[in-house]
Every structure is written in structure tokens, then in C-alpha cells.
Amino acid sequence: MSAKLIDGKKVAELIRSQVRDDVNEWVGSGNRRPFLQVVQIGTDPGSTTYIRAKTRACEDVGINTGTNRLPDTVSAKELKRIIRDYNQNDEMDGILVQLPLPNHLSSHDVIESIDYRKDIDGFHPMNVGRLAVDQPSYRSCTPAGIFELFRHYSIQVKSKHAVVVGASNIVGSPMAIMLSRENSTGKATTTICHKFTRDLTQHTISADILVVAAGQPGLIKGEMVKEGAVVIDVGINRVADETSKKGYKLVGDCEFESVMEKASWITPVPGGVGPMTVAMLMKNTLLAAKKSIYPDG
Ligand code: GUN
């Protein structure tokens, strides 16, 4: 078998054009234009690239946005004071603090200081907790985007064996919750693997749906994948490449050529999951502006 490609770039553009139409309608009916406040701490080049993609997407769909760039020496107290101001600012619908943070700041404390009603990343324990009990919540953008891909390509999740490799708070964990819950998206039998898993292949080989978010280039090889599996590669790794102008290229967590031979569907890197994450952030920001998840807030 040679896998068919899941075109995240195309599906993300469909979602963005839907959000653009919805924003136009929202503003056309006399409402304030949605606003996303971004906070960058330090000058990590990866974070700068992601923030640029997010703010460009905002401009593209008609969401207003501002980025507050703080030095990597900012104290927890000062950062939380700034976030408190944003929480109380009725003109700001969503607040996004780009991760990772410098070592002296606790991401848990910072995330919890964001008003959960403005947590368009879906990282606040209130949103993660509500997700875990099937209550409306902001959903972490990458897993939510993967479910949009399943929907677009009519990939059935119900009753399948889904294996998630990687248990991060941003992707693996919420992905496993969404796959396993008995709500409209989930109903899969779900296994979570992580760096302490013994014999990873024993698990991956039985996956009908394999979601890999481990941050390790080439971790998953063709021999670890069941014939006909759907493979979602969330990894975005920079590896040295002298033939490229930048000196590096982006690769996923799967050995693309060998996995392609086994899978029925596969997401490429780049152009698979990445664009979906940004599109879902636009969707969440619009939900925040409309107060769709927390109407009384
Ligand atoms: N760092 C890596 N991915 C993300 C994300 O989705 N949101 C934020 N805030 N930081 C990230």
C-alpha cells in the first residue's frame, strides 16, 4: 500500500475562509472585531516563527491582534500582573502566552493566571478538566485540528484502536482524552505511549489510528505500523540540510518513506497538522469573542 496524503494546508484554508466569513458577519452585525493578545517572552526563534504565523493568520481572517514582547528576565510577578490586566480588559477576547517559557517561570502558574474564558489555547486546567468530562471547553488547537482532518477525510474514529505516542499537555494528553471520550468525536479504544513505554512497537503495530507527537525525528518506522493504518505525524523537527538555503529542513517524527508504504493515510511534514493548529486558534478566538463556550462570562 502507498498512503494517500492528508492535505492540512488545504483543509486549514477551508477553515480559515469559514472563520473569515463568520468574522465578517459578526462585525457586520455591529459587534466589536475579535482581538487576540499574544505574549512572547524572550527571543526563541521557533517561538518568533510560530507567533508570526499566528498573527498573520489573524490578519488574514480579520481578527485584530497585538504582541507584547517581554524580556526573558521578566519576573513571574510582573508577568502575572500583565496577564491580570488582560483578563480584565473587555476588549481582549483571547490571551496566548507562547510556550516554552524561560526556566525561572512555571508554565503551570502562568497558564492558570489566564482567565479560563480567554484561554483560547485550551491549556487551562478548567478547559482540560471540562474536556475530560465532556463539557464544552476550549480545545487544544492541534488535537482539535486533527479531528477536523478526520472529519474532512471521513476517517472513522469510533471503535478503532487509537495509539498516541507522546503525552504532552499541549498535544498527546488532550488528543488521548478526545479520542477516548464518549462524545461526538471520540469513542476509540485509546493507548497512550510515552518515553517510559516498554516495547513501543508492540503498541504502535496494533494501531488503526497512530498519532505521533514525541518530538523525535524518525522515531516511527514502517515496520512499527499496521498495514492500512491512519498515521498523524505531529512532529516538527529541524534537521541539518546543507542543500537548503536555511541550512535545515523540517521533518516529522515518522520515517516518511517507510511509513508511507504501510499507512492508508498520512499527514506530511510540513503541510499536514501544522497549518491546522493555526486555523483552530482562529476558530477558538472567534468562539471567545462570541462567548460561545462560556456565555455567562
Ligand atoms: N508552543 C508550542 N505550541 C504551542 C501552542 O499551541 N500554544 C502556545 N501558547 N505555545 C505553544
Average pLDDT over residues 155-162: 98
Q: How far apart are CA 152 and CA 156, in angstroms?
A: 11
Contact 119, 100 (CB under 8 A): no
- Catalytic residue flag (residue 88): no
Q: How far apart are CA 21 and CA 34, in angstroms?
A: 13
Average pLDDT over residues 26-40: 98
Give the pLDDT confidence of 212-235 residue by residue, as tens digits.
Answer: 999 999 999 999 999 999 999 999
Confidence class for position 288, pLDDT limits 50, 70, 90: very high
Q: Which of 294, 288, 283, 292 is nearest to 90 (CA)?
A: 288
- Opening angle at CA 207, ends 205 and 208, nearest 5: 130
Q: How many CB atoms lie within 10 A of CB 253?
A: 24
Burial of 47 (0-12, 13-18, 19+ CB in 10 A): middle
Confidence class for position 296, pLDDT limits 50, 70, 90: confident
What are the cell numbers at 278? 493555526
Q: What is the C-alpha radius of gyration for the chain, rounded to an integer number of angstroms?
A: 19
- Catalytic residue flag (residue 85): no
Average pLDDT over residues 199-212: 98
Domains of the chain in sequence order: 30-116 (3.40.50.10860), 141-274 (3.40.50.720)
Three-class SS of residue 256? helix
- The share of the chain scoring above pLDDT 90, in percent, equals 98
Average pLDDT over residues 201-209: 98
What are the cell numbers at 52? 508570526
pLDDT at 80: 98
From 47, 48, 50, 127, mutation site for ligand 1 pocket: most ligand atoms within 8 A of C-beta: 50
- Among protein residues, the one with the nearest Cα to ligand 1's atom 9 is 98
154: left (phi over 0), alpha (psi -120 to 50) or beta: left
pLDDT at 33: 98
Q: Angle at which helices 274-289 and 8-28 pack, to 10 degrees? A: 20
- Catalytic residue flag (residue 119): no
* Helix (H) or strand (E) run with residue 128 in it: helix 125-132
Average pLDDT over residues 255-264: 98
Q: How far apart are CA 120 and CA 293, in angstroms?
A: 11
- Among protein residues, the one with the nearest Cα to ligand 1's atom 1 is 99
Average pLDDT over residues 239-257: 96
What are the cell numbers at 238? 529541524
Question: What number does the ligand 1 atom closest to the CA of 96 have?
Answer: 9
Catalytic residue among 22, 121, 208, 253: 121
Mean of all residue pLDDT scores within the chain: 97
Catalytic residue among 22, 54, 93, 233: 54
Question: What number does the ligand 1 atom closest to the CA of 142 have?
Answer: 6
- The share of the chain scoring above pLDDT 70, in percent, equals 99
pLDDT at 240: 96
Query: Which residues have C-beta atoms less than 6 Å from ligand 1?
Result: 96-99, 121, 141, 170, 277
Average pLDDT over residues 75-97: 98
What are the cell numbers at 245? 538555503
Confidence class for position 1, pLDDT limits 50, 70, 90: confident
Contact 208, 160 (CB under 8 A): yes
Q: How many CB atoms lie within 10 A of CB 158?
A: 10
Contact 296, 36 (CB under 8 A): no
pLDDT at 185: 77
Three-class SS of residue 129? helix
- In this predicted structure, the answer to whether residue 297 has a pLDDT above a threshold of 80 is no
pTM of the model: 0.97
* Helix (H) or strand (E) run with residue 233 in it: strand 230-233
Phi, psi dihedral angles at 127 (to 5 degrees)? -75, -40
